[in-house]
Structure 1
Amino acid sequence: MIPACFSQPNTPSSTSQVPQNLITCIYQTQLCNSPTYLTLTWSKTFFSHSLTIHASDSFSFTVSLNPSTFSFFRTRPGSKSISLTHSKYKRIKLYWDFTRADFTHNSAEAESCFYIAISCNARLEFFLGDLLDDLTRRSGLVPTHKLGKPALLSRREHVFGHRNYISRAQFLGSKHEIGIECSEGTLRLKVDGITSLVVKRLAWKFRGNEKIFVGGVEFEFYWDVFNWVNNEGGSNGNGHGVFVFQVGDGGVWPEMVGPEKKLMRKSLSMSTASTTVPSIASLSPSPSCSSVLQWAEESSDGGRSSCSSSTRSCGSNGGFSLLLYAWKRD
């Protein structure tokens, strides 16, 4: 048995600030005729629920998703005009409506009955959700071209639990439930309730990769539970496991912003590991995480590094990556 699988994590002590769920998705889109990576971070704690929309070197904006207990102040559809940082002559407009949004149990991400949209020069360039008719009726915007779903390049989720960690993610257009269980020195991976992989003797196999199938599509699955194994005494490591699901050439790793960056900063500040910890400006918050992500990148591009300082790219030619951080609760 690995006691680290049941030990207390070095996570923020205030339960009101520890997220119940934290999801970051990165989409490839166009803003004012310029190719853009758009990052959406959904965050839910016991007392807050928000969505941060971020485009590197362009803009960042946070929408509160908390419904009010007073009917007069209930969440209403909203909009906001923003000047792009790199060009004061270019402005975009954000539109959102979460008045009737449905959320999966304990998930920060809206499932249906919502929209988030961006226009530039009265041209609709980005739309996410299922209420396009509501948007066009309120805003007067009319799509000048067939508006398809934005290209989801990668997804990063922080899941919290004791032994079991669940993620309900969309893989190349299909939704699946991913379950990871750590118990008695054994790691079990389940996809839609069916066991896809069993890894025993984690004390020796705390890092590895295997090919698995999700919805008939072959994925490369990487795991790194070094922090769990190394955290046996509760004094080392950050107490989280790292898991990567990668298809094709991989996706694009979104940079950490807003509540996700705060979570990692708190975790790093509480870590007493003697090794030098990478900067929060990078994606890798620990030696364990750094190794598994670098491993995935090198496997996807034949060892060629193409990562920028703010966004780690492993190629986006039809590729997709899901990155899970599994944090242990008390």
Structure 2
Amino acid sequence: MDFHVASKDQPTPMLHGEDPSTSTKTAQSTVTCMYQVHLGGCWRTVTSVWTKNMMNHSLNIFVESKEPNHRHHCKIDLAPWHFWGKKSYKTFDVDGLQIDVYWDLRSAKFSGSPEPCSDYYVALVCEEEVVLLIGDLTKKVYKRTKSQQSAADTILFFKKEHVLGKKSFSTRVKFDKHKKENDILVESSTLGPNDPEMWISIDGNVLIHITNLQWKFRGNQTVLVNNQPIEVFWDVYAWLFLHPGSSHGLFIFKPSPSRNSSDDGTEEHNDSSIKKDHSACNSSNTSHCCLFLYTWKIE
């Protein structure tokens, strides 16, 4: 889909990857991560969904089945009044395989996201191997489960996050599993006498600054992050022309193959098209992760 300047009076089409079922009534903070995991002799997609609102805080884990269009499900309730469940385990069946899920979130630290940022673990164990480990308490996992590390590397290839805020939206992502995690910050100024503008920063450095946002509410640009080209796409039509909270802005951060870039670390990207589906980011042969960031402006 080509980017273009749209009239304020015309509806804007949704970019692929949006959640059409998400509305003002259902908007909440969620973090979805998709992993390639070697389980039961084959590669499967395992999805973790962290969700938090005023009444609920939970982690749902979905494991792809060999049966078409079917996933196995395990839910962990993280509500504060369920402290007894902050460290526990569950067992469920995946195509005849027993999967043990161990977690310890008693000391987990959060930074505004439903997903913890440190001091926790969630582990999936199958046939005495830790096939998926989420979190940073690695030593405690192997000691508790008495299991060994899987011979196959787990790959995080896709992350999607819904963030609520007024002027700024932040998240974290590891674009390359072999490199450090990156901090992403999107800031905006859409009210007041000045022309609306937007800043996109990674690790504290402003890499994209858009002025006259009312005419450039859709666009794309490639930036360098640790010598890795990252294609950044944005669509913030909803920020400017729709009622606050009725829809969201969308940002896509997609690692691309290394290539020569401009001296200042940024380059314009001539191909103004969003990839048609998430499968472009889904490959068990890559160590890169694609990020979809949905930004909901609240009053």
Q: Aligned partners of 1:314, 1:146: CA distance in 2, in Å?
A: 23
Partner of 1:47 in structure 2?
55
Partner of 1:97 in structure 2?
104
Match of 2:85 among 71, 75, 84: 75
Structure 1 residues 81 and 240, CA gap change in structure 2 (3 angstroms): same
Partner of 1:224 in structure 2?
235
Q: Report the more deviating stretch, 111-120 or 216-225.
A: 111-120
The CA deviation at 1:76 is 4.0
Q: Does 1:62 align with 2:57?
A: no
Partner of 2:274 in structure 1?
296
Partner of 2:255 in structure 1?
247
Q: Aligned partners of 1:179, 1:142: CA distance in 2, in Å?
A: 37
Partner of 1:152 in structure 2?
156
Partner of 1:118 in structure 2?
124
Conserved 8 A contact 2:175-2:255: no
Partner of 1:282 in structure 2?
none
Partner of 1:165 in structure 2?
169
Conserved 8 A contact 1:77-1:97: yes
Partner of 1:141 in structure 2?
147
Q: Deviation digits for residues 36-81 of structure 1, max 9, x if unmatched?
A: 1111111222332211111232311111122338xxx533422222
Q: Does 1:191 align with 2:202?
A: yes
The CA deviation at 1:152 is 1.2
The CA deviation at 1:146 is 5.3
Q: Does 1:31 align with 2:35?
A: no
Conserved 8 A contact 2:34-2:47: yes
Structure 1 residues 113 and 318, CA gap change in structure 2 (3 angstroms): closer
Query: Which letter maps to 2:84?
Result: R
Structure 1 residues 224 and 102, CA gap change in structure 2 (3 angstroms): same
Conserved 8 A contact 2:157-2:282: no
The CA deviation at 1:147 is 7.1
Q: Aligned partners of 1:97, 1:126: CA distance in 2, in Å?
A: 14
Q: Aligned partners of 1:76, 1:179: CA distance in 2, in Å?
A: 30
Q: Where in structure 1 are there 5+ consecutive unaligned residues?
A: 5-9, 250-293, 299-306
1:46 alignment partner, SS class: coil
The CA deviation at 1:325 is 0.4
Identical positions, percent? 27
Query: Which letter maps to 1:127?
Result: L
Q: Which has the higher helix share?
A: 1
RMSD between aligned alpha carbons? 2.8
Q: Where in structure 2 are there 5+ consecutive unaligned residues?
A: 1-7, 9-21, 65-69, 190-194, 258-271
Partner of 1:271 in structure 2?
none
Q: Aligned partners of 1:218, 1:209: CA distance in 2, in Å?
A: 13
Q: TM-score, normalised by structure 1?
A: 0.67
Q: Report the more deviating stretch, 129-138 or 28-37.
A: 129-138
Q: TM-score, normalised by structure 2?
A: 0.74
Query: Which letter maps to 1:169?
Result: V
Conserved 8 A contact 1:174-1:215: no
1:227 alignment partner, SS class: helix
Query: Which letter maps to 2:129?
Result: R
Q: Deviation digits for residues 135-155 of structure 1, max 9, x if unmatched?
A: 333333234x5575x311121
Question: In the TM superposition, what are the counterparts of 1:177-326 in structure 2 within 5 Å?
Answer: 177-183=183-189, 184-231=195-242, 234=243, 238-248=246-256, 295-297=273-275, 307=277, 312-316=279-283, 317-326=286-295
The CA deviation at 1:238 is 4.1
Conserved 8 A contact 2:184-2:201: yes
